[in-house]
Structure formats: structure tokens, C-alpha cells
Amino acid sequence: QVHLVESGGGSVQAGGSLRLSCAASGYRYSRYCMAWFRQAPGKEREGVASLDSDGSTTYAPSVKGRFTISQDNAKNTLYLQMNSLKPEDTAMYYCATNERVLGPWYELSSYKYWGQGTQVTVSS
């Protein structure tokens, strides 16, 4: 049973930083593709960043240069370091995974397993 638990969310002022974590269990972590998504109130869930099983990363244009996705295989944990946060980054952040991506990395349907989310609020 694949299980993902996000943590690290909170409230921060614009320009600040947060590091989100996603603890994974129930599968061979290092062979799976991982991603972070976010959903702001009244908006659709959108892809933020992805980390493929070969270590390659991809970012949404809105966060490129500010966010960094990484992992610690020994801890089965995915991270999202978020710097220079903006009010428009306010959202619930989710991690997602699958043994292989079923479509474009930014599509929700490409991932089978999801965490419950962690809230990030950025004030101006």
C-alpha cells in the first residue's frame, strides 16, 4: 500500500522560504517518479515540479529558479525547497507518485498515488 504524507507547510511573508517534505512508504521509492502539485482556492490543481526516477527534474515556469525539488532515498522522502515566496504561491501542496508517469508530468492523471496535502500561505 503506497502511502504519502506531506509536511512542512505554514504561513510566511512574501520573500520568505519553506521546505516541504513528503514521506513515502509501501513501495520501492527510488524507482518511482515523484511530483509536487498545488491547488489554490477556486483554481485547478497544477503541477509545480517533478523528479523522474533517473534524477531529472522539471519545473513549472512560475516557480523555476525559486523552487527546488529533491529527494533523500535513504529516508524515502521527497522535498520541495521554496524560496522567494510570493502571495500567488498560496495553495495546498500535494505530492504524487507512480511507478512510471502515465502522461505529461503536469497532468493529474499521470499519477496514481497522492498525499493529503500541506497548506502554504504567503502574505504580502
The model's pLDDT over 65-77, given as tens digits with 9 standing for 90+, comes to 999 999 998 999 9
- Express each pLDDT in 75-118 by its tens digit: 999 999 999 999 999 999 999 999 887 899 999 999 999 999 99
DSSP for 83-119 reads -S--GGG-EEEEEEEESS--S-TT-GGG-SEE---EE
The answer to whether residues 69 and 50 touch, using CB atoms and an 8 Å cutoff, is yes
Collect all residues with Cβ–Cβ distance below 8 Å to 123 and sequence separation of at least 6.
Answer: 11, 12, 13, 14, 87
